[in-house]
């Protein structure tokens, strides 16, 4: 997860984290993060396969800011609490039902 200008977060996956972060920092990767540079790597996790990484990435993309900040801190109690709130959207669209 990258922290971008104005407090945005970018969530993605890569088989070469150092290269991918360097590409985002240099602006070589066009899109969300390049429009919000500078970027800083704030959280990462390793997976055995790319499929597992993509499976983990999808729900995190839909998390709200508070839940992403809890993940960065490693605050699993807060993540659990936020996951149980009915008014906390769990999808990027903001829909709960």
- How is the chain split into domains, by residue range? 2-84
CATH of the structural domain 2-84, one choice from 3.30.70, 3.30.200, 3.40.1440, 2.60.40: 3.40.1440
Asked whether the predicted pLDDT for residue 68 surpasses 60, the reply is yes
Specify the pLDDT at position 36.
85
Average pLDDT over residues 70-81: 96
Specify the pLDDT at position 27.
85
The residues, any chain, with a CB within 8 Å of residue 94's CB and separated by 6 or more, are none
Specify the pLDDT at position 31.
81
Residue 45: CA count within 13 A, CB half-sphere = 13
Tell me the per-residue pLDDT of 8-42, one tens digit each, with 9 for 90 and over: 999 999 999 999 999 988 888 788 877 888 889 99
How far apart are alpha carbons 5 and 40 in whole angstroms? 9
Q: CA 18, 11, 13, 38 torsion: positive or negative?
A: negative
Q: Give the residue with greater pLDDT, 91 vs 72.
A: 72
- Residues linked to residue 40 through DSSP beta bridges, in sequence order: 3
Asked whether the predicted pLDDT for residue 90 surpasses 80, the reply is no
Specify the pLDDT at position 92.
45
Q: What are phi and psi of 76, to 5 degrees?
A: -70, -30
In this structure, what token pair is assigned to residue 48?
Answer: 């055995």
């Amino acid at each position: 997860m990258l922290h971008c200008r104005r407090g945005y977060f970018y969530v993605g996956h890569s088989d070469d984290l150092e290269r991918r972060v360097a590409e985002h920092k240099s602006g070589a990767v066009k899109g969300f993060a390049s429009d919000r540079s500078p970027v800083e790597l704030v959280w990462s996790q390793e997976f055995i396969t790319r499929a597992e990484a993509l499976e983990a990435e999808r729900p995190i993309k839909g998390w709200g800011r508070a839940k992403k900040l809890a993940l960065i801190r490693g605050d699993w109690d807060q993540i659990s609490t936020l996951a149980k709130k009915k008014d906390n959207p769990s999808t990027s669209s903001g829909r709960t039902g």
